[in-house]
Structure 1
């Protein structure tokens, strides 16, 4: 042992949902006497929470394991998360990994840590994904200004490129009471913003054990969270276009707490490709969602997920996506390059797009994203907005976000951290951030 207190360090790859779950695992280990330290510190235990969305999972995981062993060659290395559920044997082959836990086991790390000596052979505890039919509520506090609150897990959709249902199991949700309890706990910690997360949060309300009946709707969840005191802002993270209902958009437009920011996966602007992907909508429905948001929330920020290089995506079909996005009044893109994933339908599809071509298309859309972001920021100049300031100090500058997700900057002032303030948006600087003029002193 390094010292009398058992120490644990964490590294999280992937999405906001993973961050919320890492925090829950960390709180559990704290209850079992572990002290959390930085990942670069010598720790008794290193927990790596993995992602499986892209083909880089293997390489990323291997690198992080090496980093852990660099900090402490005798450290006990635990790998959990989506990659651990999908390919436990592959991870077990990595030098230095002592324990691999699947989707049903990851929230019980402590019970597997009786012996912290390095293992000659990696121990694997990984269930069949059908056994991951229970729900564990989570929230993370990544910094002092916002928390990621998990409300739902798993997915019943069968998109042909996606491994998430294989890694996380069926769609299931937290109870309304527990979500509200977690939200109140977050509020008590003085955190100003909650970001709702899940795999498919618009499907909120399905109970445990494969119960397809919705106990509550996503709209009901939003309405109840809106009543939680002492939270300045609630942000909806990614939500499927077919599950984002007009009633929800209208409610957000009248809410004091829910902010005018939506992130809606599109994946392709070509109906032909959407059908091959087995998405549950076509481009006209997506267009309708954006139009509805713009109608009731003209200054809303709208983010879009899009995949390039899907099998069968010809140049013509890619340009269909490009042109569709170009004309849509959206604010930014998250661009993903398609990567072949084992045990998905799409891996056997014809019309494979060459890697160099996938890269070129990705670059085209990233350039378009920057143009969209700048154009959106431009429309906001001259307006007065409420900013929540963050704690980072980069070369004497600090940053914050408006309610509609415009990134602003000012000279660093420690007294502003985790405070809200009304500012005027003045100009876009060379970094693409917006410079401000203070309109009112600190609000909170």
Structure 2
């Protein structure tokens, strides 16, 4: 039935979404569909949505339009976080045929017996309380790196966040299944695995809301460290209160886990951290960063930070700015606060004008550029290992060192998905470390 039917995918949002899109795509292929690039004409377009920012919601409409330009008769499906939070709104977008919520998205092929266009999108969306089971997934979108999902959902109640409403309670994959997926990835020749989830430090909670941890995050890390065939394991975003000293110490002595941590801060002001209902204060973050640098002086530390949260005065913003300026970190991911329905923050007093939010965001992005430059400069003279990726960007191939320094060298297809130990010597005009194999007397 599905022979000659083509399906294409578009993913908005986080690494977790990418891992889930890959799993959904494999389900289609197993059912006989041919997967093609989103830029090509397809019979079905699946758009995996995000709800973290206002912008991700708005982009959905333009992506639907883009799909229908390629094939006006294409069957368009919306899945993911926005599909769970606002299914009727998404279904009303012109050209959308099917909307699947949090529990239904992994069974998408069972909802498409008929590919006839609908006048209005058909919705299958559960109450989020029903999202109490776990579906493991991993992405293998390129030959270099895979995102391995180990956890889903969140039990935190941060006042700005809709993710618990979109993804449900915290629950985890079994250790046995994570190790099986990691082994499958390694057998495909992929050199690096990035662990991902909504709140991966909370790893170990079972299905059906079981609050008991079957395993800890440290036990997960220790078990993955023993999987044969993996060159690199990278921990994606992990809460500062859940990143324990034992885990940091273990990573510092591991041959596989790399010295790179991405740790959300959100604000450098204790006043705002309390309003956000974060589960730590600034001192915890300071201690984590200091511990990492103590045992791994060359480690890269990335930081998430929100600007323009309700009640963020000039003084409180400067508190965050100055705190980050003084902290030994490597780069920032800056998010401009946007009002999200059904969150506590949307009802709070002290809304920050949009222009002020934009100005503060620009200041922090500028600080991030300086931080990254300083970190790269601190790595010059060090001998590190680069994993080169697969894209030709304006005549260069790019790769990352274990501690997340971005390196470029003149394009050579033989370098794709290969590891090379090099000495970092110079930073180019674009801020990236440049390495020339020929100049170094090395034949790649």
CA distances 1:263-321 after superposition (whole Å, capped 9, x unpaired): 00000000000000000000011000000000000000000000000000000000000
C-alpha distance in structure 1 between counterparts of 2:414 and 2:95, whole Å: 44
Match of 1:160 in 2: 159
Match of 2:30 in 1: 31
Match of 1:329 in 2: 328
Does structure 1 conserve the Cα–Cα contact (< 8 Å) formed by 2:9 and 2:46? yes
Once the 2 structures are TM-superposed, how far is the Cα of residue 92 of structure 1 from its aligned partner? 1.3
Does structure 2 conserve the Cα–Cα contact (< 8 Å) formed by 1:416 and 1:442? no
C-alpha distance in structure 1 between counterparts of 2:68 and 2:138, whole Å: 28
Once the 2 structures are TM-superposed, how far is the Cα of residue 437 of structure 1 from its aligned partner? 5.0
Once the 2 structures are TM-superposed, how far is the Cα of residue 38 of structure 1 from its aligned partner? 1.2
Structure 1: segments with no counterpart, 5+ residues: none
Does structure 2 conserve the Cα–Cα contact (< 8 Å) formed by 1:134 and 1:172? yes
Once the 2 structures are TM-superposed, how far is the Cα of residue 442 of structure 1 from its aligned partner? 8.3
Once the 2 structures are TM-superposed, how far is the Cα of residue 197 of structure 1 from its aligned partner? 0.2
Once the 2 structures are TM-superposed, how far is the Cα of residue 142 of structure 1 from its aligned partner? 2.4
SS at 1:186's partner residue? helix
Match of 2:303 in 1: 304
After superposition, residues 182-197 of structure 1 pair within 5 angstroms as 182-197=181-196
Q: Under a length normalisation based on structure 1, what TM-score does the superposition of the two structures give?
A: 0.98
Matched, 1:275 2:270: no
Match of 1:87 in 2: 86
Match of 1:119 in 2: 118
Matched, 1:41 2:40: yes
Does structure 2 conserve the Cα–Cα contact (< 8 Å) formed by 1:81 and 1:103? yes
Does structure 1 conserve the Cα–Cα contact (< 8 Å) formed by 2:3 and 2:32? no
Does structure 1 conserve the Cα–Cα contact (< 8 Å) formed by 2:13 and 2:56? no
After superposition, residues 259-270 of structure 1 pair within 5 angstroms as 259-270=258-269
Match of 1:352 in 2: 351
SS at 1:382's partner residue? coil
Does structure 2 conserve the Cα–Cα contact (< 8 Å) formed by 1:426 and 1:437? no
C-alpha distance in structure 2 between counterparts of 1:108 and 1:64, whole Å: 22
Once the 2 structures are TM-superposed, how far is the Cα of residue 394 of structure 1 from its aligned partner? 1.4
After superposition, residues 96-107 of structure 1 pair within 5 angstroms as 96-107=95-106
Does structure 1 conserve the Cα–Cα contact (< 8 Å) formed by 2:410 and 2:436? no
Once the 2 structures are TM-superposed, how far is the Cα of residue 39 of structure 1 from its aligned partner? 1.0
Once the 2 structures are TM-superposed, how far is the Cα of residue 121 of structure 1 from its aligned partner? 2.3
CA distances 1:25-52 after superposition (whole Å, capped 9, x unpaired): 0001111111101112121110000000
After superposition, residues 422-437 of structure 1 pair within 5 angstroms as 422-436=421-435
Structure 2: segments with no counterpart, 5+ residues: none
C-alpha distance in structure 2 between counterparts of 1:377 and 1:180, whole Å: 34
Alignment RMSD, CA only? 1.3
- Structure 1, 137-146 or 335-344: larger mean CA deviation: 137-146
CA distances 1:172-191 after superposition (whole Å, capped 9, x unpaired): 00000000000000000000
C-alpha distance in structure 2 between counterparts of 1:194 and 1:380, whole Å: 23
C-alpha distance in structure 2 between counterparts of 1:271 and 1:170, whole Å: 26
C-alpha distance in structure 1 between counterparts of 2:415 and 2:435, whole Å: 14
CA distances 1:227-265 after superposition (whole Å, capped 9, x unpaired): 011110000000000000000000000000000000000
Match of 1:60 in 2: 59
After superposition, residues 129-278 of structure 1 pair within 5 angstroms as 129-278=128-277
Once the 2 structures are TM-superposed, how far is the Cα of residue 4 of structure 1 from its aligned partner? 4.9
Once the 2 structures are TM-superposed, how far is the Cα of residue 56 of structure 1 from its aligned partner? 1.7
Once the 2 structures are TM-superposed, how far is the Cα of residue 93 of structure 1 from its aligned partner? 1.2
Match of 1:70 in 2: 69
Does structure 1 conserve the Cα–Cα contact (< 8 Å) formed by 2:194 and 2:235? yes
C-alpha distance in structure 1 between counterparts of 2:94 and 2:397, whole Å: 41
Count residues in correspondence.
Answer: 442
Once the 2 structures are TM-superposed, how far is the Cα of residue 58 of structure 1 from its aligned partner? 2.8
Once the 2 structures are TM-superposed, how far is the Cα of residue 57 of structure 1 from its aligned partner? 2.9
